[in-house]
Structure 1
Amino acid sequence: MKNSRKLLSVLLIMVMMSLILAACGKTETAKTKSPKQKYVLKFNHVLSDSEPFHKGFLNWGKRVKERTNGGLEIQVFHSAQLGVEEDIIEQIRQGANIGQNTDSARLGMYVPAIAVMNAPYFVDSIDEVAKLRELATVKAWQKELEDKHGIKILSFTWVQGLRHMVTNKPIKTPDDLKGLRIRTPGVPIWQESIRSIGASPVALPFGEVYIAMEQKAIDGADLVYRNVTGAKLFEVAKYMSETNHILLINFEVISKKFFDSLPPEYQQILVEECDKAGLEASREMEKEVEPLRKQLAEKGMTIVQDVDAAAFRKAGEGAYNVLKLTEVRDQLYKEMGKK
């Protein structure tokens, strides 16, 4: 009996040791298990780090990182540090984990009709831009960009504001632009928009505007107020003429392939926070126009406000006609209830 009890005790000890070892093994496995996959999006834009959009992109990245517990990180690169816009978009199409702040003019190189959103006097306010997101035609363009070209639009609630003429002579009518070489991106809608209102378009990257004006390679550029202060163009231009010819809608785009690789909850967070940060940055830029007017005046620029708006609007119709975008515009106006 005594030997039986000893044997039973030994067996119990062996069983307990086995359980302890098994538990330790599980704990060790849990500790050494690979962490949840992390994703990085490198986001490029051409603006300086002093502009509200740069701050907006940083806010977007911060919120995404917080909501994903570090699972998705957005690294923001200002002043085109990753390369020129057109090259970045091509990398996006190939599936790279890169994003770009762009506009409908460049996206129009892939889906031509979407370029209408960059045409003269297309919309007049941030509220009208917000309506565009819900239109069936716009949603169809977005799907085409994804399915045929691999470009995913995250948001276009980023509105830089109204563009004006930055020159060394006052601009009050389209006739005042005749013979002037005005910098613009090298895509059809930009070129025709500038040409329609009287100037000769010259394709140049934004970062080259200052030197080109200083060397008189161009006579001016069409820009929003913040671009002028950010790039210190008041040092090479005397006039800011408020032609209001384009409300610049910006698009935040990434690779559809990269977007699809993200967990569904990350996809939702990425889009939601991009929209939110975009509206905030857009409203901030809208509020700062008056202070920037005063700032540029103090820097020696003359702000020209007595511009013949009706004459410019009439001239701007030429861009729609040349690029056959009149019917496209009218369809969008119909869908959004705009006359």
Structure 2
Amino acid sequence: MKETKKMLSMLLILIIASLLVSACGKIKETVKPEAPKPKYVLMFNHVLSESEPFHQGFLKWAQRVKERTNGEVEIQVFHSGQLGVEEDIIEQLKQGAPIGQNTNAARLGMYVPAIAVLNAPYFVENIEDVAKLRELPTVKQWEKELEEKHGIKVLSFSWVQGMRHMLTNKPIKTPEDLKGLRIRTLGAPIWQQSIRAMGAAPVAMPFGEVYTGMQQKAIDGADLVYRNVIGAKLFETAKYMSETNHILLINFEVMSKKYFDSLPPEYQRILVEECNNAGMETSKEMEQEVEALRKELTQKGMTIVQDVDLAAFRKAGEGAYKVLGLTEARDKLYEEMNRKQ
């Protein structure tokens, strides 16, 4: 009897020991080493919605940078202006904050006035022209001025949202049709003067307020690209999208020059390269989706106006160049591009 009990006890001990060894093995198998913490973190802000292709493009940029730097550089992307309004973010990054912002030449023109010409009416009309602009001596000089005088580092301006058109509740075919209308645009001088030159009254308003502004009739319309209309559901507040093609919306990705300089040279190069790559890919994707967006907006009840007098709008747009003294800057860039006006 005693021998039986002894054997049962030993068997029980062996079973318990076996279970403990098995459990330890499983613990070793399931416990994974912690991912290395990033040495450098860039918080990147943009005002577009989460559904916008640009947001997905920024996430792609962030992922590629993370992979190429072995996790040492992390870009945290914030959509819908979660970090704040664009003007405030730019002022913060100028002071050295580890923040980046999606912006445009019109806003940067507040610091280097001539660069605003890149967002002037009918300046360039396709992505290929934008690619050429990146290599021009005059543009590089403007970028250098942004860095040295204002602490703003331009990473890329390969991000093209497409042509801006007029979103209203009446068809717009000539500049005469804009008379008396209050059109939302950005507060920068080139945007304001462009809208004014084409016959409307410009109203500075954040993009996030356009929907309620249209609902409450604080504005009569806005100049936007197709994807903006879909992303912000502005088809619920407007009946017409008139293809004035008045501005090819070139976006700039900027960050603090001071923080950029704190990165190892190799990481600086990766940050710029991947930003340009993701920008061109996203821009081409957006260019290819225009026809589908037209159809989608039509299905949602909007009317797309395509018989617009573009010659009349081009002529009207010249007024913006003259008022802001940008004619010389435009002609200089055209000369460097070997392009006729």
Shift of the alpha carbon at 1:217? 0.4
- Equivalence map 1:34-45=2 (5 Å): 38-45=39-46
TM-score, reference length from structure 1: 0.89
Aligned length: 305
Match of 2:26 in 1: none
Match of 2:7 in 1: none
Deviation per residue, 1:280-328 (Å, 9 max, x gap): 1000000000000000000000000000000000000000000000011
AA paired with 2:312?
A: A
1:225/1:37 CA distance change after superposition, 3 Å: closer
Shift of the alpha carbon at 1:204? 0.2
Q: Are 1:215 and 2:220 an aligned pair?
A: no
Shift of the alpha carbon at 1:253? 0.1
Identity %: 80
Match of 1:61 in 2: 62
Shift of the alpha carbon at 1:37? 6.8
Q: Are 1:195 and 2:196 an aligned pair?
A: yes
- Equivalence map 1:18-29=2 (5 Å): none
Q: Are 1:230 and 2:237 an aligned pair?
A: no
Match of 2:336 in 1: 335
AA paired with 1:275?
A: N
Q: How far apart in 2 are the matches of 1:226 and 1:333?
A: 29
Deviating runs (4+, > 3 A) in structure 1? none
- Equivalence map 1:296-335=2 (5 Å): 296-335=297-336
AA paired with 1:216?
A: K
3-state SS, counterpart of residue 184 of structure 2: strand
3-state SS, counterpart of residue 153 of structure 2: strand
3-state SS, counterpart of residue 198 of structure 1: coil
Deviation per residue, 1:86-133 (Å, 9 max, x gap): 000000100000000000000000000000001000001000000000
Q: Are 1:112 and 2:131 an aligned pair?
A: no
Gaps of 5+ in 2: 1-35
Match of 1:89 in 2: 90
TM-score, reference length from structure 2: 0.89
Report if aligned partners of 2:114, 2:329 keep a CA contact under 8 Å in 1. yes
3-state SS, counterpart of residue 99 of structure 1: strand
Q: How far apart in 2 are the matches of 1:82 and 1:151?
A: 18
Report if aligned partners of 2:155, 2:271 keep a CA contact under 8 Å in 1. yes
Match of 1:264 in 2: 265
Q: How far apart in 1 are the matches of 2:37 and 2:75?
A: 17
1:37/1:205 CA distance change after superposition, 3 Å: closer
AA paired with 1:73?
A: E
Q: How far apart in 2 are the matches of 1:272 and 1:247?
A: 23
Report if aligned partners of 2:38, 2:71 keep a CA contact under 8 Å in 1. no
- Equivalence map 1:289-300=2 (5 Å): 289-300=290-301
| RMSD (Å), alpha carbons | 0.8
Match of 2:158 in 1: 157
Shift of the alpha carbon at 1:59? 0.1
Q: How far apart in 1 are the matches of 2:188 and 2:122?
A: 18
Q: How far apart in 1 are the matches of 2:115 and 2:223?
A: 21
1:212/1:193 CA distance change after superposition, 3 Å: same
AA paired with 1:164?
A: H
Q: How far apart in 2 are the matches of 1:246 and 1:37?
A: 39
Q: How far apart in 1 are the matches of 2:338 and 2:207?
A: 35
Deviation per residue, 1:189-246 (Å, 9 max, x gap): 0100110111100000000000000000000000000000000000000000000000
Shift of the alpha carbon at 1:174? 0.1
Q: How far apart in 1 are the matches of 2:38 and 2:84?
A: 28
Q: How far apart in 1 are the matches of 2:186 and 2:96?
A: 25
Match of 2:244 in 1: 243
3-state SS, counterpart of residue 137 of structure 1: helix
1:37/1:204 CA distance change after superposition, 3 Å: closer
Match of 1:10 in 2: none
Shift of the alpha carbon at 1:36? 8.8
3-state SS, counterpart of residue 48 of structure 1: coil
Q: How far apart in 2 are the matches of 1:130 and 1:226?
A: 22
Q: How far apart in 1 are the matches of 2:48 and 2:111?
A: 24
Q: How far apart in 1 are the matches of 2:229 and 2:268?
A: 35
3-state SS, counterpart of residue 294 of structure 1: helix
